[in-house]
Amino acid sequence: MLIPALDLIDGHIVRLKQGDFNEKTVFDLDPVAKVCEYAADGAALIHIVDLDGAKDPQRRQVELISQMVKASSCPIQTGGGIRTYEDVKTLLDLGVKRVVVGSAAVKDREFGKKLLRDFGAEAICLALDVRIEDGVAKVATHGWLETSELTLEQLIDEFMPEGLAHVLVTDIAKDGMMQGANNSLYASLAQKYPQLDVIASGGISCLDDIKALKNLKATSCVLGRSLLTGAFNLKEALTLWPNDATA
C-alpha cells in the first residue's frame, strides 16, 4: 500500500529534513483539502504526523485532525508525541483508524503491549526510527535525540507475540533527503517478517524508488515530500503499486 503523508505544525503542512525543526519547509496548502485530494486520487490510508503534539502533547492539533477525519473519505492514521493511554483513546474516539506510537512504547514496552491488547492490532502502529550503526539498525527515541542499544529486530520480536501487525520503520539518515529508501533494510525485514505490514518511510524521491521497494516485496510505503514537491503524483504512483485493501 502507498500511504501519502502530511506533517503538521500550527495548522500548516510542513516537511522536515531528518526530523530537524530548523530544516523546515512550509507548503501553502490546506490540510483538510489535501487529505480530500489524496482520498479522491485513490489513497486507501493517509498518514498524519502532528509535530506540535510531538513537541508538546498539550498542543496536539486535535481539532484539525478531527476536521481531516470528518472530511476525508479515506481512513487516517496519526501520531506525534503519543505518550499516554488517554492520548490513544482520544484519537480513536475522533474516528482515526490507527494511532502511531513510537518513543513511549519503546521506553515502556509493557505500555506498548497493553495498547495492542486493549485496542487491537489494527488500531495501533508501532513507529520505530532507526540509525544504522556498523550495519545494525538501532532504534532512536525522543525526536531522534537518543539512540538506544535496542535493535530494530529485538523490538519487533518482543511485540510480535502481542499481535503486532503494523510497524512504521524510518531510516533517519534517509528522511526528507529525497535520495531513495534504505532498500537493503526493507528487503531484510520483508524476508524475516513476511506476515508483518512493514511501512517503509524516508527517502522516496521518484517513481523508480517506488518500483525498487515494490520489487523487494515491501508491504507499504509512506510518500511525503515527493508528492508535495510534485516529483510525481499519487495517481502515477498507484499505477506502479496498486493498493491492497487488506493492508
| Residues annotated catalytic, as ranges | 7, 129
Give the separation between CA 119 and CA 35, rounded to whole angstroms: 25
How far is the CA of 148 from the CAs of 23, 191, 209, in angstroms? 24, 24, 29
**Rounded to the nearest 10 degrees, how much is the dihedral formed by the CA atoms of 111, 112, 114, 115?**
120
Q: Supply the DSSP symbol for 86.
A: H
- Residue type at position 7: D
Angle at 228 between CA 21 and CA 53, to 5 degrees: 40
Give the separation between CA 82 and CA 78, rounded to whole angstroms: 10
Give the separation between CA 56 and CA 54, rounded to whole angstroms: 6
| CB contact at 8 A, 15 and 8 | no
Nearest to 143 by CA among 112, 173, 102: 102
| Residue-wise burial string across 190-207, b where 16 or more C-beta atoms lie within 10 A, e elsewhere | beebeebbbbbbbbbbeb
Give the separation between CA 80 and CA 236, rounded to whole angstroms: 29
